[in-house]
Structure 1
Amino acid sequence: MLDFCQRTYTLLMLPTDLLSTTRELSSQADASSQKEDDADDNDDMEIEDRLTEPDADGDSRDTAEIDINELELSDTETDSSDKKSFSSRRRSELFKAIVSVSGLSVDSALDKWVEKGKELSRQEIGLALNSLRRRKMYGRALQALDWLESNKKLEFTEKEYASKLDLIAKLRGLPKAEKYLEHVPNSFRGELLYRTLLANCASLENLRKTEETFNKMRELGFPVTAFACNQLLLIYKKIDKKKIADVLLMMEKENVKPSSYTYKILIDVKGLSNDIDGMSQIVETMKAEGCELDHLTRASLARHYAAAGLTEKTEAILKEIEGENLKENMWVCPTLLRLYAILGRADEVERIWKVCESKPRVEDCLAAIEAWGRLKKIEEAEAVFEMMSNKWKLTARNYESLLKIYIRHKMLNKGKDLIKTMGDSGCTIGPTTWDALVSLYVQAGEVEKADTVLQKALQQNKMKPMFTTFMTIMEQYAKRGDVHNAEKIFYRLRQANYISRISPFHALAQAYKNAKLPAYGIRERMKADNLFPNKALADQLVQVDPFRKTPVSDLLD
């Protein structure tokens, strides 16, 4: 591997005393090894970024997002990385039948399908499920799998069990997914099932469960793969960068060849720390290992160059991505639209959009809306959205592309009108929409109304609100020094099973600090969750410690 790990250690500049070689991975760390800002909880994300969902080309894909092709959950042999074939892939008739009914009527659509004597082949089912997944219609996909299993219309293999586990984790959380895994027949409880669970643990940013699942896979004798190591790298990138070295050393010991995605993660590590030279050196190492820079990696490099203000380097990569003939390379348009908007190049956004406009795809429209919004051209964004609504039946995600722009610009009335239109059109109002509505009210200074939205969402009890939805409200109460309501949201977080995260404790300590009240037992509560204060939180806890000694208290004593 051309001393891959040795090179990477040098580039990451990690202390050698952290290169432990233990078989078991543990999340326990002292305060100095905790990441100072809890990126695991997306504290530093702008509100609109919280609504961003991955597009088909992966442009806005979060690095923790699970690739179903890597998981081998796809039931078709078509490689989804072939973007030219993506748009021409045969549309599943079964998929059309499933999406033509309301979200709660999937069973009836499948019953009618069978009554009409239509075919339910494994290929047709696979095409339908893959189409549902790409559009993030996870609820419908899970209902379809439940129906197929209960009606014995599909003989489940490990792939179907893994696909169902993945959907349960996404919709109902890790505890339900783990419980489902226990009920899968032993003969189908193989590496794919555990790999799926591992990926969801990392995607949901649950460090303890990620490490536990990885260690369980080792105990069961499953091989250490680049995919499994990548999940560890993803979560350590966000929570504890110092542990990245442990993973790289393990890869070297186990002779695991890094994948292109491994390099992309390492490039992000350097890019996010604004170490452009280090990032460039990792690219050189990647090339030396024979790994080509794919579309995702180039886009990631361009983002980091843009963030560092290196406009010429960014534009050079964008020209590489575009190629010589954009009309023959249309699948890269979403990437170009978003990145040119980051550079503030309205002229380039307009040029790219004109190429798309004659025959746009949904992905192109969403990227254009996002780009115009970033450039503060609201009317242009609304015009693209209007074209979309006239051309297709829109999903909640489509509406949210415009909604996040209204949030950014504090356009409360337009945002509320858009959400009402969503409901009237039959869209399922779910966690991302709740998050948007909460953000709209918070931006308008109406925190109590935002809290009411969250309470109603919890009462519906069909889907769990996003972690960021709770935190958006809790942080506002903390700023006010409203300890009672901050504790209330903290309790709701626990009820929703959002535990083992440090950000709620930050907000709670801030609430006590701003209220000028002593805080009892926060350290003990953290210890119960196997959490340790980072430097910022440790400083906060000292200030709200009821037993803190001061010069005045010493005199009084």
Structure 2
Amino acid sequence: MWAIRRAAIPVRSHTHRFVVARCCHAIPETPSNYLEQREVRQGKEYGRSHSYYIPKSLLCGSSISPTFLWGRNLSSQACVTSNSKADDAEEGFSDLDVPPETDNSIDLSEEGNLSEEDSGEAADKSIGLSDSESDLKGKKVSSKKVCSTPLFKIIIDASRPAVTGALNKWVEEGNALGRNEVSFTLLTLRKRKKYAKALQFMEWLESTKRLDFAERDYASQLDLIAKVYGINKAEKFIEKIPQSCRGEIIYRTLLANCVGAVNVSKAEEVFNKMRDLGLPISTFACNQLLLLYKRINKKKIADVLLLMEKENVKPSLFTYKLLVDTKGISKDISGMEQIMETMKSDGIEPDFVIQAMVIKHYISAGLKDKAEAALKEMEGSDIKENRASCKALLPLYAALGKADEVERIWKECEASPRIDEFLAVIEAWGKLGLVEKAEEAFEEVLKKWKKLSSMYYTALLKVYANHKLLSKGKDLVKRMSDNGCRIGPTTLDVLVKLYVEAGEVEKADSILQRANQNNQIKPRYNTYITLLENYAKRGDIHNAEKVFNRLRQIAYAGRMKQYQLLLLAYVNAKTPAYGFRERMKADNIFPNKAVAAQLAAVDAFRKTQISELLD
């Protein structure tokens, strides 16, 4: 773990100091600066047996704030001092931030998605599943078998008010209700994102005593309540769970939903409560904090690593993925490579997802030779024997501009192409600017599989958006509608980008508003950021403020990027931003160097050389 922390933090100084924290008796709600002021006195009081020797660079480097996770509380406040140029820019989202709509696709865009299912966290990902659901999660289950079960058909066909009556009638007709069938049904409802109906089903099971609820069953219900009604309702539900079933699985399920909602204060509160209750701190819980801080405040990642070391929590493959991706985003390639070496020395072999992630960051950093060498290693000596790597290799070779390599890999797949390989090759041809080839691949997959999910339409729609082909994009969206495809947050994100890239920002804005209101879709954070960026470039303060407020209303608050863009709108409009610093402070956001420069530029009361002479 020490090696991970060394790799995770760039060392800039050899100066050291003693930092002391008492493991079990830290004062609640104590700010970190207060702890720092008490360092010497605490050292004298508790002696060397309670001290930890930590390099000063660990506390002042770009990856850590002086926050102590050994105490019972986590600070939400970001460290405002930094020597890193990387801090000047918003540390945006990357591959692991948003759950993907596809299981294994590799997307090399800045907002691409890498599947968490591939992280080796299969057991942890099933935190909200009952034991049977968790067992089923790792098995290959025929979708036809699941969808054809009578129980599933009854629930899916009934309107929401009629679900309970339909279930009662089904049981009255003498149909057996075993746990396996219940689990298959719940798993399928979840995969289809029918959370409300899944929750109705579980509530019916509980009220009719058709199932003896264990802790995992309550966790499954808690997870569904959080998804349907929000975190507050889920917290209240915990009070109704029998005390004997309120274990670690319950609280880590709540923690995961807090992280999913990017609710920093609530996530830290739940994590601290787990510690107060004496529940074990699992790798999964620590990974949730790492994922949260990767999105919000990368400086605090090292704090979590310190906690993991103290609690002897072993890092998983997903832990390493988060750390590798974080270093890659910061363009710290040597740090990323050190983490990879540490991972291998711990006996954890990188999978295709983490290999693709490393290659992506090599490409982003302009290290093409390293990227090509890593691609050849990933491909192996025989691509036919290593067929599973094809779906990752296609977009990666495309990102390097190697159309001949994409053609070669695709020829190996064409004889018996897999559906996920079509997704990868559509993306690859799009990156290379070969729109017609992307269209050919789409039409081919449409012939082979008549009923496609929206992700395949979205892949081609993204190609159209990147090449500003608005009319083709409109036609494709119409085909989606005609074929009964669901428009989810990912498709909506690409649709908004399509109109924005074509210069129709107001139209994109209206589409986003209607989708949010009528279809009850919660748009992605980056969908709003796309609009906000364009309004900011125009200096359109009115619309920028509207988008900013909508971000706050749907709980996307507390991220530096949106404040930077809103400030940019004021800068470009050459208009003072009165009280903006106070607005940020109220949201517990503290300006980095780039934002401080923007604030100075829109300060109505700042002194210039001319104004001082005139005064």
TM-score norm. by structure 1 comes to 0.85
Shift of 1:277: 3.0
Of the three residues 287, 294, 299, the one matched with 2:356 is: 299
> Following superposition of structure 1 onto structure 2, how do residues 11-50 of structure 1 map, counting pairs within 5 Å?
15-17=57-59, 18=65, 20-21=67-68, 22-23=70-71, 24-32=73-81, 35-40=87-92, 42=93
Structure with higher RCO (Cα < 8 A, 6+ apart) = 1
Query: Partner amino acid for 1:498?
Result: Y
From the superposition, tell whether residues 479 and 311 of structure 1 become closer, same or farther in structure 2 (CA, over 3 Å): closer
CA distance in 1, matches of 2:305, 2:183: 36
Match of 1:473 in 2: 531
From the superposition, tell whether residues 507 and 124 of structure 1 become closer, same or farther in structure 2 (CA, over 3 Å): same
Shift of 1:412: 0.7
CA distance in 2, matches of 1:350, 1:117: 57
Of the three residues 318, 322, 327, the one matched with 1:265 is: 322
CA distance in 2, matches of 1:12, 1:510: 33
Shift of 1:250: 1.5
Aligned length: 542
Query: Partner amino acid for 2:57?
Result: P
Q: Deviations over 1:246-265 (max 9, x none)?
A: 22222221122222222222
From the superposition, tell whether residues 175 and 148 of structure 1 become closer, same or farther in structure 2 (CA, over 3 Å): closer
CA contact (8 A) 1:412 1:444 kept: yes
CA distance in 1, matches of 2:176, 2:242: 28
CA distance in 1, matches of 2:402, 2:154: 42
The answer on 1:250 being equivalent to 2:307 is yes
Shift of 1:406: 0.8
Match of 2:181 in 1: 124
Q: Helix, strand or coil: the match of 2:343?
A: helix
Match of 1:57 in 2: 104
Match of 1:521 in 2: 579
The answer on 1:409 being equivalent to 2:461 is no
CA RMSD of aligned residues (A): 3.6
CA distance in 1, matches of 2:97, 2:338: 31
Match of 1:492 in 2: 550
CA distance in 2, matches of 1:58, 1:219: 40
CA contact (8 A) 1:226 1:259 kept: yes
Of the three residues 197, 205, 225, the one matched with 1:143 is: 197
Q: Deviations over 1:464-483 (max 9, x none)?
A: 22222222222222222222
Shift of 1:219: 1.9
From the superposition, tell whether residues 362 and 176 of structure 1 become closer, same or farther in structure 2 (CA, over 3 Å): farther
CA distance in 2, matches of 1:328, 1:132: 35
Q: Deviations over 1:64-92 (max 9, x none)?
A: 95755323345253674xxxx75xx4435
From the superposition, tell whether residues 280 and 63 of structure 1 become closer, same or farther in structure 2 (CA, over 3 Å): same
> Following superposition of structure 1 onto structure 2, how do residues 103-252 of structure 1 map, counting pairs within 5 Å?
111=166, 114=170, 120-131=177-188, 133=190, 137-138=192-193, 140-150=194-204, 152=208, 154-167=211-224, 169=226, 174-175=231-232, 177-178=234-235, 180-181=237-238, 184-252=241-309
Identity rate, percent: 49
Of the three residues 482, 488, 496, the one matched with 1:438 is: 496
Q: Bigger CA drift: 379-388 or 91-100?
A: 91-100
From the superposition, tell whether residues 485 and 9 of structure 1 become closer, same or farther in structure 2 (CA, over 3 Å): closer
CA distance in 2, matches of 1:547, 1:520: 10
From the superposition, tell whether residues 351 and 363 of structure 1 become closer, same or farther in structure 2 (CA, over 3 Å): same
CA contact (8 A) 1:171 1:463 kept: no
Query: Partner amino acid for 1:424?
Result: D
CA contact (8 A) 1:482 1:511 kept: yes
CA contact (8 A) 1:230 1:261 kept: yes
CA contact (8 A) 1:321 1:332 kept: yes
Of the three residues 129, 145, 155, the one matched with 1:93 is: 145
From the superposition, tell whether residues 123 and 76 of structure 1 become closer, same or farther in structure 2 (CA, over 3 Å): farther
Shift of 1:205: 3.8
In structure 1, list runs of 5 or more residues that go unmatched: none
Q: Deviations over 1:442-494 (max 9, x none)?
A: 11111221221122123216222222222222222222222222222222222
The answer on 1:453 being equivalent to 2:508 is no
CA distance in 2, matches of 1:26, 1:325: 51
Q: Helix, strand or coil: the match of 1:360?
A: coil
Q: Bigger CA drift: 353-362 or 525-534?
A: 353-362
In structure 2, list runs of 5 or more residues that go unmatched: 13-55, 60-64
> Following superposition of structure 1 onto structure 2, how do residues 320-469 of structure 1 map, counting pairs within 5 Å?
320-390=377-447, 391-460=449-518, 462-469=520-527
Query: Partner amino acid for 1:287?
Result: K
Match of 2:50 in 1: none
Q: Helix, strand or coil: the match of 1:459?
A: helix
Q: Helix, strand or coil: the match of 1:335?
A: helix
CA distance in 1, matches of 2:398, 2:152: 33
Shift of 1:411: 0.8
CA distance in 2, matches of 1:469, 1:299: 25
CA contact (8 A) 2:152 2:185 kept: no
CA distance in 1, matches of 2:9, 2:334: 12
Q: Deviations over 1:344-386 (max 9, x none)?
A: 2223323333333343333222112111111212122112222
CA distance in 1, matches of 2:375, 2:185: 34
Q: Helix, strand or coil: the match of 1:70?
A: helix
Shift of 1:518: 1.7
Q: Deviations over 1:246-287 (max 9, x none)?
A: 222222211222222222222223333333333323222222
Shift of 1:312: 4.5
Shift of 1:9: 5.8
CA distance in 2, matches of 1:469, 1:263: 28
From the superposition, tell whether residues 68 and 168 of structure 1 become closer, same or farther in structure 2 (CA, over 3 Å): farther
CA contact (8 A) 1:57 1:331 kept: no
From the superposition, tell whether residues 101 and 484 of structure 1 become closer, same or farther in structure 2 (CA, over 3 Å): farther
Structure index of larger Rg? 2
Shift of 1:28: 0.8
CA distance in 1, matches of 2:299, 2:337: 20
Q: Helix, strand or coil: the match of 2:485?
A: coil
From the superposition, tell whether residues 348 and 117 of structure 1 become closer, same or farther in structure 2 (CA, over 3 Å): farther
Query: Partner amino acid for 1:229?
Result: C
Q: Bigger CA drift: 470-479 or 110-119?
A: 110-119
From the superposition, tell whether residues 491 and 184 of structure 1 become closer, same or farther in structure 2 (CA, over 3 Å): farther
CA distance in 1, matches of 2:170, 2:527: 41
From the superposition, tell whether residues 422 and 493 of structure 1 become closer, same or farther in structure 2 (CA, over 3 Å): same
The answer on 1:288 being equivalent to 2:345 is yes
From the superposition, tell whether residues 63 and 117 of structure 1 become closer, same or farther in structure 2 (CA, over 3 Å): same
CA distance in 2, matches of 1:263, 1:51: 17
CA contact (8 A) 1:207 1:235 kept: yes
The answer on 1:536 being equivalent to 2:594 is yes
CA contact (8 A) 2:536 2:565 kept: yes
CA distance in 1, matches of 2:97, 2:482: 24
From the superposition, tell whether residues 411 and 229 of structure 1 become closer, same or farther in structure 2 (CA, over 3 Å): same
Shift of 1:338: 2.2
Q: Helix, strand or coil: the match of 1:448?
A: helix
Q: Bigger CA drift: 399-408 or 185-194?
A: 185-194
